[in-house]
Chains A and B, each alone.
Chain A
Amino acid sequence: MNFFQHLGNYATLMKSTFARPEKGKVYWKLIAEEVEKMGLGSVGIVFFVAFFFGAVIAIQTANNMDNPLLPDMLIGLGTRDSVILEFSSTIMCLILAGKVGSNIASEIGSMKVTQQIDALETMGVNSAGYVIFPKIIAAIFIFPFLSMCYMFVGIFGGWAGVVITGVTNTSHFVYGLHYGFKSYYIPYSLTKTVVFAFIISSVSSYYGYYTELGSKAVGDASTKAVVNSSLIILIFNLILTKLLL
């Protein structure tokens, strides 16, 4: 299948996904379940990654500032900007593409292989809407919260990395955090996160939904979902940065 066939199938699937649902009440429950699964299931890894990346960013920034004319507060400033602008959105979503994306693709792929998707269609249920819509809405809703968690934990990790190891002190670091802060960075980062959440959930759903029969095909779909979501995120990262900054 070539690129344009994939694009056409993806567009058709999204049209079905966002068609009017059969019974709204049922969908709300599904969205709540997905929020719980994606949100609570990802908090641990987001905290872990944020803390250690934050610490490494701060230590590397400090390491690159051996010139005595450069003030220590730049460590806090550099950590803040890196975490908020790029790590809390792009890096976090690349990691979640691996975790959430593969989960979505293999779950939907298994449903396809075991004819559960066919069963939904036969009953008269819009299978794309029933299976994919709640996942996309849940991702769009919960990823920005995870991104905000990343910002706080990442900056805390940065502080821990340089203050506990004695590279600098808390007042210099906190001064750097406040210095020249542009509040626009937050909505910029959250906008990117929302777009990436849509990419991860929809692209992974696409590969799961069009899985061919067989357990190997489910594994292949999962791999393609992660790789292609990640590539599309990187492309859209550039586009959004150019458009929004």
Chain B
Amino acid sequence: MIEVKNVSKSFKGQIVLKNINLELEEGKINLVIGRSGSGKTVLLKSLVGLHEVDEGSILFDNRDFVKMGNDQRKEIRKEIGMVFQGSALFDSMTIFENVQFPLKMFSEMSDDEMIERVNFCLNRVEIDGKNDLYPSEISGGMQKRVAIARAIALNPKYLFCDEPNSGLDPRTAIVIDSLIGEITKEFNITTLINTHDMNSVFEIGDKIFFINKGEKWWEGHKEDIWNSDNEELEDFIFASEFAKKMKERLRINP
């Protein structure tokens, strides 16, 4: 289980995260939602140690990540698969080599076992026959899928995704969401997704955390959103006139 306790972070005196407390649901999809610049990415990067927090603790199964040294953190990081906003695939490596990379660095698999595992992960994200292509030779949606395949190569306990469907068309975004949902259930992974895509919230979100101006303003399950009286949350979720009308309609005819 991942618990975030009283985490604060500032950059050059500007507070970005203020006293954040989260408790992620194990084996479920946890979503952190919020406007651009609300602190979602800083929170996610703090969880994996790319930013050092100013205060608070981050517990992975009661192990405090903040207090750990580099070597201990490495052990935790091996349990984490991460999908970056821009995929962050290694552009000097082929698709196959990208997925193989964590196995080569951290597993004791033989070459044959590695080939089998890489092909399994690529098949799982429905990438076939592209092994020898480079990331620049495939579409953005495929890059995201390869990034997911790379993230699950080492059978992680936790999967972190930073806006996994940003820059994708609505149809491909839904495919990526479904894929993350299926993988989470299939491998019993605790997943944390940063997003401001409402489709993700209502399609795959189990637990939702709403971050606003660096603070947690709301948390609950997606069903609770309809009954929430949190104005900021409502303003964020139902931002467009169309969404507001839809909500009214659903209230009248649930």
Contact of A114 among B49, B80, B91 (CB under 8 A): B91
Q: Which residues of B, 69-122, contact A by the 8 Å Cβ criterion?
A: 73-75, 77-78, 80, 82, 84-86, 88-91, 101-102, 104-106
Chain A contacts for B73, CB-based, 8 A? 124
Determine whether the beta carbon of A22 is less than 8 Å from that of B106: yes
Determine whether the beta carbon of A124 is less than 8 Å from that of B106: yes
Binary contact track A95-118/B, C-beta < 8 Å → 1, others 0: 000000000000000100011101
Instruction: Let me know if B48 is at the binding interface, CB within 8 A.
Output: yes
Instruction: Let me know if A125 is at the binding interface, CB within 8 A.
Output: yes
Chain B contacts for A1, CB-based, 8 A? none
Determine whether the beta carbon of A23 is less than 8 Å from that of B104: yes
Q: How far is the CA of A26 from the CA of B90 in the complex (A)?
A: 15
Q: How far is the CB of A180 from chain B (nearest CB, A)?
A: 49
Chain B contacts for A122, CB-based, 8 A? 48, 50, 77, 80, 82
Binary contact track A10-41/B, C-beta < 8 Å → 1, others 0: 00000000000011001000000000000000
Instruction: Let me know if A123 is at the binding interface, CB within 8 A.
Output: yes
Contact of B88 among A118, A124, A125 (CB under 8 A): A118
Binary contact track B21-36/A, C-beta < 8 Å → 1, others 0: 0000000000000000
Chain A contacts for B91, CB-based, 8 A? 110, 114, 116
Instruction: Count A/B pairs, Cβ under 8 Å.
Output: 50
Chain A contacts for B77, CB-based, 8 A? 121-124
Determine whether the beta carbon of B78 is less than 8 Å from that of A119: no
Binary contact track B54-79/A, C-beta < 8 Å → 1, others 0: 00000000000000000001110110
Determine whether the beta carbon of B88 is less than 8 Å from that of A121: no
Q: How far is the CB of B7 from chain A (nearest CB, A)?
A: 18
The total of chain B residues at the interface (CB under 8 A) is 23
Determine whether the beta carbon of A123 is less than 8 Å from that of B84: no
Query: Closest chain B residue to A110 by CB distance?
Result: B91
Contacts A121-B50, A122-B48, A124-B74; is A26 near B104 (CB within 8 Å)? yes
Chain A contacts for B84, CB-based, 8 A? 115, 118-119
Chain B contacts for A124, CB-based, 8 A? 73-75, 77-78, 105-106
Query: Closest chain B residue to A26 by CB distance?
Result: B104
Query: Closest chain B residue to A121 by CB distance?
Result: B50
Query: Closest chain A residue to B154 by CB distance?
Result: A123
Chain A contacts for B82, CB-based, 8 A? 119, 122-123
Q: How far is the CB of B190 from chain A (nearest CB, A)?
A: 16
Q: How far is the CA of A231 from the CA of B91 in the complex (A)?
A: 32
Which of A22, A116, A124 counts the most chain B CB atoms within 10 A? A124
Q: Which residues of A, 121-137, contact B by the 8 Å Cβ criterion?
A: 121-125
Chain A contacts for B101, CB-based, 8 A? 123
Query: Closest chain B residue to A125 by CB distance?
Result: B105
Contact of B50 among A23, A110, A118, A125 (CB under 8 A): A118
Query: Closest chain A residue to B49 by CB distance?
Result: A121
Query: Closest chain B residue to A25 by CB distance?
Result: B104
Q: How far is the CA of A118 from the CA of B147 in the complex (A)?
A: 13
Q: How far is the CA of A199 from the CA of B79 in the complex (A)?
A: 37
Chain B contacts for A22, CB-based, 8 A? 105-106
**Which 8 A-B pairs have CB atoms at the shortest separation, nearest pair first?**
A124-B77, A115-B88, A124-B74, A119-B88, A122-B82, A115-B84, A122-B48, A124-B78
Q: Which A residues are within 8 Å of any B CB, using their own CB?
A: 22-23, 26, 110, 114-116, 118-119, 121-125
Question: What would 11 more interface pairs be, CB under 8 Å, given A22-B106, A26-B104, A124-B78?
Answer: A110-B91, A114-B88, A116-B88, A116-B90, A118-B84, A121-B48, A123-B82, A123-B101, A124-B77, A124-B106, A125-B105
A selection of 29 A-B contacts at a CB cut-off of 8 Å is A23-B104, A26-B104, A26-B105, A110-B91, A114-B88, A115-B85, A115-B86, A115-B88, A116-B88, A116-B91, A118-B45, A118-B84, A119-B82, A119-B84, A119-B88, A119-B90, A121-B49, A121-B50, A121-B77, A122-B50, A122-B77, A122-B80, A123-B77, A123-B78, A123-B101, A123-B105, A124-B74, A124-B105, A124-B106
